[in-house]
């Protein structure tokens, strides 16, 4: 591993964007980026207004060379955590000081696997973004091994090997689901289905929504989210072939809706806006559903609108009444949440984007797979590129953005700026944007 102070993802697969709040535990009081797609798991920035450009406003503070990974960086307090696959044999997790890059701890375990030949171009290294709170870092390895570490020391608290302990089938493409920490529980989609475990000791509480046994039906490409739908707080899940709401207490299916996709490539997980859910899949369509209670007890799902636009791997972000989505045809589109009307569509911009939106700033940061970082106006009249710069050669891991801390739980004063964390395929780069 080489470290420098020079100033110089298949599938980091897509999680969920929501407009109603997730769980209390997934909403950390700290200005941290502790899970897939940020503090509220919706790709929304916190901590004030962004700068209006990149260029000399975005400066790299430190970087460290690492083995390959598609996992996005996550933070807790003054630490940033990243994963890597080492020598095609081990999975390693390392904690660094966010401000300086000083290594605090590192730990590893055997966990590598090879993906099918037609997916080899997408790599055979760790994929899932970890989840953490103040004390626990939960990491999902490629072979459906879930490990809980102490955030401050890296000491292993517990480990669950779903294949060995429960006989769950290994997923052909490896585990890509990013876990959710909620209160005293962890939720994740593995080869055996959607699963709830105890955060204290890793004991399984329930497992539901079991998939098929084939490469095209088993496992999942999506990450769940906790949201309140029809007045009930629940786990919102996308399996290989449907959307579903699941009871947090007992895993009971509350509602579901089939989703058309090519070979089960239902990669996005839904945008949840109140009782409405948006979904789009490879070779399917963009669709908005409304979930309601029929006779006060049975959930009913109705389609509100659909659109021919096809997403692929990039979960959209919401700003105001509009949704911004990178599509399978590599174009970027702005759509009305109300009726699905396309406001504008761009030229192609590459295979994959991870995005973070700042409604307060009226802009979106988008990191493309080729390492190009773009600042885009959240404008419904026309596509407006405000600035762009190269921050990596290859990056399929999700971008992370958080305010520079001014204390234990508060962002720093105005002008202190934001940390922009880029996990390139071969390194972690930390930028300060102010």
Q: Is the pLDDT of residue 415 over 80?
A: no
Mean pLDDT over 95-122 rounds to: 88
Query: Average pLDDT of the chain?
Result: 88
Q: Is the pLDDT of residue 27 over 50?
A: no
Confidence at 5, pLDDT banded by 50, 70, 90:
very low
Q: Which residue has the tokens 């294949």?
A: 163
Q: CA-to-CA distance for 245 and 302, rounded, in angstroms?
A: 14
Question: What region, left, alpha or beta, does residue 381 occupy, with left being phi > 0 and alpha being psi -120 to 50 degrees?
Answer: alpha
Q: Identify the top-confidence range among 17-26, 288-297, 385-394.
A: 385-394
Confidence at 114, pLDDT banded by 50, 70, 90:
confident
Whether residue 54 is contained in a domain is answered as no
Look up the pTM and report it. 0.90
pLDDT digits (tens, 9 = 90+) for 343-353: 999 999 989 99
Mean pLDDT over 134-158 rounds to: 97
Whether residue 259 is contained in a domain is answered as yes
Q: Is the pLDDT of residue 24 over 90?
A: no
Mean pLDDT over 312-339 rounds to: 94
Strand ranges across the sheet with 332-336: 317-319, 322-326, 332-336, 342-345
Q: CA-to-CA distance for 305 and 287, rounded, in angstroms?
A: 6
Element (H, E) at 134: none
Phi, psi of 264 (to 5 degrees): 70, 20
pLDDT value of residue 122: 75
Whether residue 356 is contained in a domain is answered as no
Confidence at 15, pLDDT banded by 50, 70, 90:
very low
Q: Is the pLDDT of residue 20 over 90?
A: no
Confidence at 2, pLDDT banded by 50, 70, 90:
very low
Whether residue 100 is contained in a domain is answered as yes
Whether residue 102 is contained in a domain is answered as yes
Q: CA-to-CA distance for 350 and 69, rounded, in angstroms?
A: 19
pLDDT value of residue 413: 62
Q: Which of 69, 209, 63, 199 is nearest to 131 (CA)?
A: 199
CA distances for 13 relative to 265, 319, 391, 413, angstroms: 11, 21, 20, 34
Q: Is the pLDDT of residue 319 over 60?
A: yes
pLDDT value of residue 410: 55
pLDDT value of residue 272: 86
- Find the CATH number of the domain harbouring 179: 2.130.10.10
DSSP characters over 124-149: SS--PPPEE-SSEEEEE-TTSEEEEE
Q: What share of the chain is helix, strand, coil (3-state, %, to 5)?
A: 5, 45, 50
pLDDT digits (tens, 9 = 90+) for 54-80: 999 999 999 999 999 999 999 999 999
Extract the tokens encoding 38: 């940020």
Confidence at 406, pLDDT banded by 50, 70, 90:
low
Q: Which of 74, 98, 70 is nearest to 13 (CA)?
A: 70
CB 229 within 8 A of CB 253: no
pLDDT value of residue 26: 42
Phi, psi of 44 (to 5 degrees): -110, 135
DSSP characters over 264-312: G------EEETTEEEEE-TTS-EEEEEEEEETTTEEEEEEEEEES--B-
Whether residue 402 is contained in a domain is answered as no
Q: Which of 362, 270, 276 is nearest to 320 (CA)?
A: 362
Helix (H, G, I), strand (E, B) or coil at 116: coil
Q: Which residue has the tokens 């072939």?
A: 241
Phi, psi of 166 (to 5 degrees): -120, -5
Range of the domain at 145: 12-43+74-350
Number of structural domains in the chain: 1
Q: CA-to-CA distance for 107 and 308, rounded, in angstroms?
A: 46
Extract the tokens encoding 272: 């949840």
CB 377 within 8 A of CB 361: no
Whether residue 258 is contained in a domain is answered as yes
Q: CA-to-CA distance for 60 and 391, rounded, in angstroms?
A: 9
Non-local (6+) Cβ contacts of 44 within 8 A are: 17, 38, 317, 356, 357, 358, 359
Residue 57: CB atoms within 10 A of its CB come to 17
- Distance from chain centroid for Cα 274: 20
CB 221 within 8 A of CB 265: yes
pLDDT value of residue 94: 98
Element (H, E) at 165: helix 162-166
Q: Is the pLDDT of residue 177 over 70?
A: yes
Whether residue 296 is contained in a domain is answered as yes
pLDDT value of residue 183: 95
pLDDT digits (tens, 9 = 90+) for 42-52: 999 988 899 99
Q: CA-to-CA distance for 125 and 141, rounded, in angstroms?
A: 9
Q: Is the pLDDT of residue 283 over 80?
A: no
């Amino acid at each position: 591993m080489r470290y420098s102070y020079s100033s110089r993802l298949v599938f980091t697969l897509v999680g969920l964007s929501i407009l109603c709040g997730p769980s209390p535990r997934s909403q950390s009081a700290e200005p941290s980026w502790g899970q897939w797609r940020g503090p509220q798991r919706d790709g929304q920035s916190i901590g004030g207004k962004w700068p209006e450009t990149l260029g000399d406003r975005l400066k790299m503070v430190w970087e460290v060379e690492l083995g390959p990974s598609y996992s996005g960086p996550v933070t807790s307090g003054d630490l940033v955590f990243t994963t890597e696959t080492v020598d095609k044999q081990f999975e390693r997790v390392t904690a660094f000081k966010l401000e300086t890059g000083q290594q605090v701890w590192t730990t590893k375990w055997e966990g590598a696997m090879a993906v099918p030949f037609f997916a080899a171009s997408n790599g055979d290294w760790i994929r899932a973004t970890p989840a953490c709170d103040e004390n626990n870092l939960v990491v999902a390895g490629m072979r459906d091994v879930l490990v809980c570490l102490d955030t401050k020391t890296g000491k292993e608290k517990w480990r669950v090997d779903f294949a060995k302990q429960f006989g769950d089938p290994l997923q052909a493409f490896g585990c890509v689901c990013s876990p959710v920490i909620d209160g005293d529980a962890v939720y994740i989609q593995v080869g055996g289905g959607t699963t709830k475990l105890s955060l204290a000791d890793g004991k399984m509480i329930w497992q539901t929504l079991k998939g098929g046994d084939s490469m095209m039906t088993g496992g999942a490409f999506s990450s769940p989210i906790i949201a309140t739908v029809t007045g009930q707080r629940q786990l919102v899940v996308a399996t290989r072939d449907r959307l579903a709401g699941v009871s947090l207490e007992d895993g009971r299916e509350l509602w579901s809706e089939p989703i058309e996709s090519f070979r089960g490539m239902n990669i996005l997980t839904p945008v949840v806006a109140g009782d409405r859910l948006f979904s789009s899949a490879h070779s399917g369509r963009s669709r908005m559903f409304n979930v309601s209670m029929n006779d006060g007890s049975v959930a009913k799902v109705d389609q509100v609108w659909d659109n021919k636009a096809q997403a692929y791997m990039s979960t959209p972000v919401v700003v105001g009444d509009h949704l911004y989505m990178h599509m399978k045809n590599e174009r970027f589109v702005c759509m009305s949440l109300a009726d699905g009307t396309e406001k504008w569509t761009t030229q192609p911009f590459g295979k994959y984007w991870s995005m973070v939106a700042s409604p307060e700033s009226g802009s979106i940061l988008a990191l493309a797979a080729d390492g190009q970082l773009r600042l885009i106006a959240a404008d419904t009249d026309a596509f407006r590129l405000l600035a762009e710069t190269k921050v990596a050669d290859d990056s399929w891991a999700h971008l992370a953005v958080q305010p520079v801390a001014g204390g234990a739980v508060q962002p720093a004063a105005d002008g202190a700026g934001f940390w922009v964390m880029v996990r390139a395929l071969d390194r972690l780069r930390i930028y300060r944007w102010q």
